[in-house]
Amino acid sequence: MAKKSLWLTYSPEMIQKMNDFCEGYKQFMSVCKTERECVNTFIEMAEKAGYQDLYACVKEGKTLKAGDKVYASNRNKMLMLAQLGEEDLEKGLNILGAHIDSPRLDLKPHPLYEDSEFAMFKTHYYGGIKKFQWVTLPLALHGVIAKKNGEVVKVVIGEDPSDPVLGISDILPHLGKDQRAKTLGEAFTGEDLNLNIGNAAMPDGEDEKDLVKKNVLRILKEKYDVEEDDFESAEIEVVPAGAARDFGLDRSMVFAYGHDDRICAYTSVMAQLDLADTTPKKTYVTLLVDKEEIGSVGATGMHSKFFENCMAEILELTGSYSELKLRRMLSSSAMLSSDVSAGFDPNYASVHERNNAPFFSYGPVLHKYTGSGGKGGSNDATAEYIARIRNIFDQADVRFQLAELGKVDQGGGGTIAYILAQYSMDVIDLGIPLHNMHAPWEVAAKTDIYEAYRAYKVFLEKI
């Protein structure tokens, strides 16, 4: 059956629902530019929907039963939402999983220095970026500074219209002969991505050294009551400044920082929260993880035991924990690893194989496998599982695509799918096609955002 653009199939009522949904998404994306900001916002949303802190339930020795809703946060950078179903947990979970970290620049542990009467911050890029895309942009700082007395200071600079913005300079074309002779990788290096943060030299009544840097420290002391040494225990992310916006003269797309992969996180959370008033047959879980862009490592990455530990606690609070039951529950589960895909771009058609490429406004993308080359590093979903997904989507009139991530030998990518598949559960990637993936500003179709939300909701209810 030939597929059509969702714009040709959506009714006026559906288009209105789509636009309303995307307005909420844009508001979220304008504010939540770090993992911590995502987790804090999602917890607020979950608590309004009746979710309780799992760790508080453990501390109180509370018994959990069908219909109960709990959340668990891991270091404010990883989050699990679970809504208990009527079936025995041993029969498995319906899981949505996405990551909430995005490519960016991080401040180094000792970032601040002065050079030629400019105050500068040194940065270390995070994830797979094209470094040249980060110069001459208005940039903002988001993050926290943890002080030795235990206080954690929240930092957001560059988002309010009254705020200053920061930036990384580039050489003018008139003097760019040597730069143009280099490859992009040689012309822009990690050590070149130094953030210009000030130029005002203010006398301090003592020596005349580093007066611009001292002025910046004075400003930080007045606003945040922090010292230079406090950067040693800070997590400050450098991100594009500005709000998510409509893209295109027809307002058919959304332009935002961090679509990868907060676009799937938001739609997954909304799908589960919109089912909060029902008691499901099988237990619903939405899992949001950190560190996917650097291999899912560390205490807040998917390779950690956080998810498994949470499910063990839930089993205990239902009065049915055993190691064997935990293993049976995980292996009997079904999951959508919700991560973005590379939408077909007519400007770069040569990297796609058109018959197996995802297109904007044709719905979310199922990837049987990702990886690179000969499927290296990928999860490869079974034919039977894909058939189950196709069936529930078709019955609910949810549109989707089945595609690959570009031509076989052009490169590739990975997701958290293979990590969950190690439990022997069924896992497949389902995400939203993007343009400009991993760039400071990415683009997605509103139709695909809304249809992904519908797909995640149907998956939780029907798989």
Per-residue pLDDT tens over the stretch 341-350:
999 999 999 9
Tell me the whole-structure pTM to 2 decimals: 0.96
Q: Is the pLDDT of residue 1 over 60?
A: no
- 180 and 290 co-located in one domain: no
Name which of 104-118, 157-171, 193-207 the model is least confident about.
193-207
pLDDT of residue 22: 98
Q: Rounded CA gap, 14 and 18, in Å?
A: 6
Nearest in space to 449 (alpha carbons), one of 62, 15, 11, 118: 15
For residue 232, give the CATH number of its domain.
2.30.250.10
pLDDT of residue 397: 96
224 phi and psi angles, rounded to 5 deg: -120, -5
- 92 and 149 co-located in one domain: no
Query: Beta-carbon neighbour count of residue 328 at 10 Å?
Result: 16
Query: Beta-carbon neighbour count of residue 49 at 10 Å?
Result: 18
Q: Rounded CA gap, 146 and 404, in Å?
A: 43
Distances (CA, A) of 229 to 112, 152, 233, 367: 10, 14, 8, 46
Name which of 40-54, 69-83, 193-207, 393-407 the model is least confident about.
193-207
Q: Rounded CA gap, 205 and 175, in Å?
A: 39
Query: Residue 125: is it exposed, middle or buried by C-beta count within 10 angstroms (0-12/13-18/19+)?
Result: middle
Report yes or no: 264 and 459 within 8 Å, Cβ to Cβ.
Answer: no
Higher pLDDT among residues 184 and 166, named by residue: 166
- 77 and 11 co-located in one domain: yes
For the segment 420-442, the average pLDDT, to the nearest whole number, is 96
- 74 and 202 co-located in one domain: no
Output the six-digit token pair for 35.
Answer: 């993992």
Angle between helices 323-331 and 306-317 (to 10 degrees): 120
Output the six-digit token pair for 70.
Answer: 């709990």
pLDDT of residue 170: 96
Q: Is the pLDDT of residue 251 over 90?
A: yes
Task: Using the 3D structure, point to which of 210, 240, 270 is the last residue of a domain.
Answer: 240
What pLDDT digit, counting tens, does each position of 367-424 carry? 998 888 888 888 899 999 999 999 999 999 999 999 988 888 887 788 999 999 999 9
Task: Using the 3D structure, point to which of 181, 207, 240 is the last residue of a domain.
Answer: 240
pLDDT of residue 376: 82
- 400 and 453 co-located in one domain: yes
Name which of 29-43, 182-196, 205-219, 320-334 the model is least confident about.
205-219
3-class secondary structure, 345:
coil
Q: Rounded CA gap, 329 and 308, in Å?
A: 10
Q: Is the pLDDT of residue 452 over 80?
A: yes
- 88 and 117 co-located in one domain: no
Q: Does residue 341 sit within a domain?
A: yes
Place of tokens 């570009």: 406
Q: Rounded CA gap, 361 and 228, in Å?
A: 49
Query: Beta-carbon neighbour count of residue 100 at 10 Å?
Result: 27
- 229 and 273 co-located in one domain: no
- 212 and 69 co-located in one domain: no
Q: One-letter amino acid identity for 370?
A: T
∠ CA(276), CA(281), CA(284), 5° rounding? 50
Task: Using the 3D structure, point to which of 190, 215, 240 is the last residue of a domain.
Answer: 240
- 67 and 160 co-located in one domain: no
- The DSSP H or E segment spanning 113 is strand 104-115
pLDDT of residue 2: 67
- 68 and 203 co-located in one domain: no
What pLDDT digit, counting tens, does each position of 271-290 carry? 999 999 999 999 999 999 99
pLDDT of residue 185: 87
Handedness of CA 180, 185, 191, 192 (dihedral sign): positive
With cut-offs at 50, 70 and 90, classify the pLDDT of residue 37.
very high
Q: Rounded CA gap, 233 and 320, in Å?
A: 41
End-to-end CA distance of the chain: 23
Paired sense of beta strands 195-198 and 118-126, if any = antiparallel
Higher pLDDT among residues 333 and 202, named by residue: 333
Nearest in space to 422 (alpha carbons), one of 343, 305, 259, 260: 305
Q: Is the pLDDT of residue 233 over 80?
A: yes
What pLDDT digit, counting tens, does each position of 173-231 carry? 999 999 999 998 899 999 999 999 999 998 876 778 999 999 999 999 999 999 999 99
For the segment 418-439, the average pLDDT, to the nearest whole number, is 96
- 273 and 140 co-located in one domain: no
Q: Rounded CA gap, 231 and 109, in Å?
A: 6
- The DSSP H or E segment spanning 72 is strand 69-73
Place of tokens 């917890």: 43
130 phi and psi angles, rounded to 5 deg: -95, 110
Domain of 420, in residue numbers: 6-102+257-462
427 phi and psi angles, rounded to 5 deg: -140, 140
For the segment 21-32, the average pLDDT, to the nearest whole number, is 98
Query: Residue 460: is it exposed, middle or buried by C-beta count within 10 angstroms (0-12/13-18/19+)?
Result: buried
For residue 282, give the CATH number of its domain.
3.40.630.10
pLDDT of residue 207: 73
CA atoms within a 13 Å half-sphere pointing along the CA-CB vector of 42: 35
- 91 and 135 co-located in one domain: no
Q: Is the pLDDT of residue 363 over 80?
A: yes
- The DSSP H or E segment spanning 156 is strand 152-157
Q: Rounded CA gap, 18 and 46, in Å?
A: 22
pLDDT of residue 208: 80
Q: Is the pLDDT of residue 9 over 70?
A: yes
